[in-house]
A and B are shown apart, each in its own frame.
Chain A
Amino acid sequence: MIGARQGTMTMLQRLVAAAMSRDIRGFVVPGADVARAAGLDLGGAGLHLSATPRHANVLVIIAPLPAGLADAASVAYGQMPRPRAILALGSGDLGPLPDADATGPLTQAGLVTAMEDLRWVIATGSFRSDVDDYEAPTLQTRTEYTCPMHPEVVQDEPGNCPKCGMTLVLRKAAVSSHAGHAMPEKERDMPVETRVETTSAGHDHANDKGNKHGGAHDHGHAKHAVSEPLVQYTCPMHSEVISAEPGSCPKCGMFLVPADTKSEHAGHDARHGHTKHAADESPARYTCPMHPEVVQDEPGNCPKCGMTLVPVEEAVENSGHDHGAASQGHDNGSKSSHQGSHASHGNDVVIEGIEAHFMSMTDLTRDMPASEDGLKMEWIGVPFGPFFPGLPSGLRLDLTLDGDAVAGTSADSAVGLSELLHEDTTTPAAFVDQLAALSPLSPVAYSLLACLALEQAAEQSVPSSVARARIAAAERERLTSHFGWLAGFGTQAGFTWLEKRATALQLKLRVAPVIEIAALAPKITALLTRIQRTPLLKARLKGIGRLAGDDALPGPVARAGGIARDARSDDPIYTELGFTVLTATDGDALARLTQRCGEIFQSLELILKVGAIAMPEPHGIGTASGTGEAVVETPRGAARLSLTLHNGKVTAANIETPTAAHVDLIATVADGRELGDALTGIGSLDMSPWEVTA
Chain B
Amino acid sequence: MTILIVLLSLAVGAYLIAVLESWAVHGRLQPARPAISALALLGRESLLARTPDRLLFETGPVLLLVAGLLAVAVIPLAPGLIITDMATGALFLNAALAYVLVALIMAGWGPNGAYGMIGGWRFLGQFVAYAMLIVMPITAVVLRAESLSTVDIVTSQSSLWNIAYQPLGFALFVAAAMGLCWLPPLDLPTAPGDLAGGVEAEYTGVRFAVLRLARMVIILALAGATVTFYLGGWLGPWLPDWAWSGIKILIVAGLMVSAGRLVPRVRETRYLELSWKLGIPLALGNIFLVGVIVLVVPI
Q: Mark A14-46, 1 if CB is under 8 A from B, else 0.
A: 011101101100000000000000000001000
In the complex, what residues of A have CB within 8 A of residue B24's CB?
496
Q: Mark B22-46, 1 if CB is under 8 A from A, else 0.
A: 0011110000000111011011111
Q: Which of A304-312, A486-494, A605-613 contacts B (4 or more CB under 8 A)?
A: A486-494
Contact A253 B54, CB 8 Å, known A494-B185, A500-B27: yes
Most chain-B CB neighbours within 10 Å: which of A181, A182, A380? A181
Instruction: Check B112–A186 contact: CB distance below 8 A.
Output: yes
Contact A539 B194, CB 8 Å, known A19-B36, A382-B114, A494-B184: no
Q: Which of A47-55, A362-370, A445-453, A634-642 contacts B (4 or more CB under 8 A)?
A: A47-55
In the complex, what residues of B have CB within 8 A of residue A493's CB?
193, 264-265
B115 interface residue per 8 A CB criterion: yes
Instruction: Check A81–B115 contact: CB distance below 8 A.
Output: no
Instruction: Check A676–B267 contact: CB distance below 8 A.
Output: yes
Chain A, range 90-143, C-beta contacts under 8 Å to B? 126
In the complex, the chain B residue whose C-beta lies closest to that of A383 is B114
B118 interface residue per 8 A CB criterion: yes
Q: Mark B107-118, 1 if CB is under 8 A from A, else 0.
A: 000011111011
In the complex, the chain A residue whose C-beta lies closest to that of B194 is A676
Q: How far is the CA of A363 from the CA of B267 in the complex (A)?
A: 32
In the complex, the chain A residue whose C-beta lies closest to that of B271 is A539
Q: How far is the CA of A491 from the CA of B205 in the complex (A)?
A: 24
Instruction: Check B39–A491 contact: CB distance below 8 A.
Output: no
Q: How far is the CA of A370 from the CA of B66 in the complex (A)?
A: 39
Q: How far is the CB of B116 from chain A (nearest CB, A)?
A: 9
Instruction: Check B270–A539 contact: CB distance below 8 A.
Output: yes
In the complex, what residues of B have CB within 8 A of residue A537's CB?
263-264
Instruction: Check B204–A539 contact: CB distance below 8 A.
Output: no
Instruction: Check A185–B112 contact: CB distance below 8 A.
Output: yes
Contact among B114, B201, B264, B266 for A534, CB-based, below 8 A: B264
Contact A674 B268, CB 8 Å, known A54-B204, A496-B25: yes
Q: How far is the CA of A338 from the CA of B137 in the complex (A)?
A: 41
Instruction: Check B263–A536 contact: CB distance below 8 A.
Output: yes
In the complex, what residues of A have CB within 8 A of residue B201's CB?
51-52, 54-55, 183
A192 interface residue per 8 A CB criterion: yes
Instruction: Check B51–A404 contact: CB distance below 8 A.
Output: no
Contact among A82, A185, A191 for B45, CB-based, below 8 A: A82
Q: How far is the CB of A245 from chain B (nearest CB, A)?
A: 14
Chain B, range 191-221, C-beta contacts under 8 Å to A? 191-197, 200-205, 208
In the complex, the chain A residue whose C-beta lies closest to that of B204 is A81
In the complex, what residues of B have CB within 8 A of residue A52's CB?
115, 196-197, 201
Contact among B25, B196, B208 for A388, CB-based, below 8 A: B196
In the complex, what residues of B have CB within 8 A of residue A403's CB?
121
Contact A494 B260, CB 8 Å, known A48-B26, A540-B266, A540-B267: yes
Contact A83 B44, CB 8 Å, known A186-B113, A674-B267: yes
A177 interface residue per 8 A CB criterion: yes
B277 interface residue per 8 A CB criterion: no
Most chain-A CB neighbours within 10 Å: which of B114, B194, B205, B208? B194
Instruction: Check B112–A495 contact: CB distance below 8 A.
Output: no
Contacts from B to A (Cβ < 8 Å): 24-27, 35-37, 39-40, 42-51, 53-55, 111-115, 117-118, 121-122, 125, 184-185, 187-188, 191-197, 200-205, 208, 260-270
6 closest A-B pairs by CB: A19-B39, A390-B193, A492-B193, A493-B264, A16-B43, A51-B192
25 A-B pairs, CB-CB below 8 angstroms?
Answer: A16-B40, A19-B37, A23-B39, A50-B197, A51-B197, A55-B208, A126-B43, A183-B49, A185-B49, A185-B114, A187-B51, A189-B50, A382-B115, A401-B118, A403-B121, A404-B118, A492-B193, A493-B264, A494-B264, A495-B264, A496-B261, A536-B185, A540-B264, A540-B266, A540-B270
Additional A-B contacts beyond A81-B205, A183-B50 (13; CB < 8 A) = A16-B42, A51-B192, A52-B115, A54-B47, A81-B44, A82-B44, A253-B53, A389-B192, A493-B265, A496-B260, A497-B262, A536-B264, A677-B269
Contacts from A to B (Cβ < 8 Å): 13, 15-17, 19-20, 22-23, 43, 48, 50-52, 54-55, 57, 81-83, 126, 177-178, 181-187, 189-192, 195, 248, 253, 380, 382, 388-390, 401, 403-404, 491-498, 500, 534-537, 539-540, 674-677, 679
